[in-house]
Amino acid sequence: MKEKIQMTTPLVEMDGDEMTRILWKMIKDELILPYVDLKTEYYDLGLPRRDETRDQITIDSAEATKRLGVAVKCATITPNHQRMDEYKLHEMWKSPNGTIRSILDGTVFRTPITIPSIKPAVKSWEKPITIARHAYGDVYKSVEIRAKGPGVAKLIFDGEGGEHEEVVVHNFKGAGVLQAMHNTDKSIRSFAHSCFKFALDTNQSVWFSTKDTISKKYDAQFKIIFYEVFEEYKQEFEKRGLEFFYTLIDDAVARVIRSNGGYIWACKNYDGDVMSDMVSTAFGSLAMMTSVLVSPDGKYEYEAAHGTVTRHYYKYLKGEETSTNPMATIFAWTGALRKRGELDSLPRLSAFADALEAACFDTLNAGICTKDLVNLMEGITPTAVTSAGFIAAIRERLEAKMS
C-alpha cells in the first residue's frame, strides 16, 4: 500500500441528513479515507445540529467556505410543518442551500454524469449540458395584486436622489391581475462573473439567453451586463477557442435541442428553474446530476442535485438494505478534491479524484448499478446491487488503479 495522499488546505465538509448522511459515511470510509490523508473542517448541517445551534452552524459553514475556498456538501432537509413535528424543531429553519447561496452570492451549475449505456432522450446530445441558473429576483421575489375591478395600475420609482419615474401599467376596465418584479445590477454582474469563471474552469463555451426584444429594459439590462463583464474574460476565451454566445430564449431552446451538448447554458431565474428540470430528466436520472455553487470571487461548494432520499431512509431505518445511488454524492467529493488539488498544486490529489471517477465509470460500464438505473440502461445487461454493493464494486476497481 502506497503512502496516503497528503492535503494542505482543509475542505469544508458539510454533513447532512437521512439516506445521504448514511451514504456520506460509506463513501468516506470506503473510497476516500483509505487513500487520502483527508483534512476537513467539519460542519454538521444535519437538522438536529442546525436546530441545536439555531442554524448558526449553517452560517459558520458558509463563512468557512469563504475563507477556505472549497466545500463539499451532503443533502440536507429543508424543514416544513411535518419536519417541525418529526424533529421537534424550535423554528422552521430556512433552506441551508438558500442561506449558503446568499452568503457566497453564488450561482448554481448543474451537470449530468453521462455514461454510454444511458442515452439522453434527445438523440443529438453527446456531451453533458450544464445549466447555470441565476438564483436571485424576478418572479421569485415579485409582488402581486389581484385587481378586483376597474382601476389604474402604476409602476413608480422614487429615487433617493429625488428622481421620480412613473408609468401606467394598465387601465383596467374590469378585474385582472398584476405583478411587479425586480433585479439588481450587482446580482446580475455576480451571475455573469460566476458563469465566465466556471466556463474557464471547465473549458466550455457559454450560451446566454433572455427575451430582450420584448423586455427592452429589464432583459436588455441582463444582456448589457453580460457583454460588459465578458470583456474581462474575452482574451482568455479567444485564446482557448471558447465562445460567449447570446441569443433569444426561444432560439436558444431550439438550438439546445439540435446541439451536441458540451456547453454552459446560462439562464434567468425562471428559465433556469424550468429548463434544468427538462434537461436533467432528458439526461436520465436525478441521482446522476451534480451541482456546484460558484461565487463571483471563485469559491466553490460541490454537492449532489438530489435531496436526502427520505423514502429510502425510512426503509433503511426498518433494517432494509437500500439501493440508493451514491454517484452524485461521490462526484461532489471528487469535484471538491480535484479543485483543492488544483488550488494547492497537489497533482496527486487531483489524479486521485480522476481515478475515483474512472472507477465509478468502470463499475457502471460493467453493468453494475443501483436500482434507479436498471431500466435506463441499453445495450448492456445491468445487475442491480445495494448501495453497499455498488460502493464495494467501485472500491475494487479503485484499489486496482491505486496500487
Binding site for ligand NAP (CB under 6 A): 75-78, 97, 286-287, 303, 306-311, 324-325, 370, 372
Q: From CA 105, how far away is CA 314, in angstroms rounded?
A: 35
Smallest distance from ligand NAP to CB 308, Å: 4
Contacting range for Mg ion; rule: CB under 5 A; set: 31-39, 126-134, 168-176, 269-277: 269-277
- What do you get for the CA distance between the two ends of the chain, in Å? 7
C-beta of 273 vs 362, nearer to Mg ion: 273
**Residue showing the smallest CB distance to ligand NAP in the complex:** 307
String of contacts with Mg ion for each residue 120-159, x by CB under 5 A: ----------------------------------------
Residues numbered 274-333 forming contacts with Mg ion, rule: CB under 5 A: 277
C-beta of 183 vs 291, nearer to ligand NAP: 291
- Residue in 41, 60, 201, 273 binding Mg ion, rule: CB under 5 A: 273
C-beta of 251 vs 277, nearer to Mg ion: 277
Smallest distance from ligand NAP to CB 304, Å: 7
Smallest distance from Mg ion to CB 76, Å: 18
| Residue for grid cell 441569443 | 247
Neighbour count for residue 91 (Cβ, 10 Å)? 11
Is 387:324 a contact under the CB 8 Å cutoff? yes
Pairing mode, strands 300-304 and 70-73: parallel
Cell numbers at 56, concatenated: 448558526
C-beta of 126 vs 277, nearer to Mg ion: 277
Closest by CA to 18, choosing from 41, 53, 45, 58, is 45
For Mg ion, how many residues bind (rule: CB under 5 A)? 2
Instruction: Say which entry of Mg ion, ligand NAP, none residue 287 contacts (CB below 5 to 8 A, set by partner kind).
Output: ligand NAP
C-beta of 37 vs 277, nearer to Mg ion: 277
C-beta of 92 vs 224, nearer to ligand NAP: 92
Smallest distance from Mg ion to CB 170, Å: 29
Smallest distance from Mg ion to CB 272, Å: 9
Q: From CA 318, how far away is CA 107, in angstroms rounded?
A: 38
Is 323:374 a contact under the CB 8 Å cutoff? no
Smallest distance from ligand NAP to CB 394, Å: 14
| Residue for grid cell 442561506 | 99
Smallest distance from Mg ion to CB 95, Å: 14
C-beta of 75 vs 279, nearer to ligand NAP: 75
C-beta of 55 vs 303, nearer to ligand NAP: 303
Q: From CA 195, how far away is CA 205, in angstroms rounded?
A: 10
Cell numbers at 252, concatenated: 436558444
Q: From CA 128, how far away is CA 149, in angstroms rounded?
A: 49
Beta bridge partners of 399: none
Task: Tell me if residue 361 falls in helix, strand or coil.
Answer: helix
Q: Which residues of 178-193 are buried (b: 16+ CB within 10 A; e: fewer)?
A: eeeeebeeebbebbbb
Closest by CA to 112, choosing from 350, 254, 305, is 305
Instruction: Say which entry of ligand NAP, Mg ion, none residue 273 contacts (CB below 5 to 8 A, set by partner kind).
Output: Mg ion
Smallest distance from ligand NAP to CB 328, Å: 6
- Binding residues for Mg ion, rule: CB under 5 A, are 273, 277
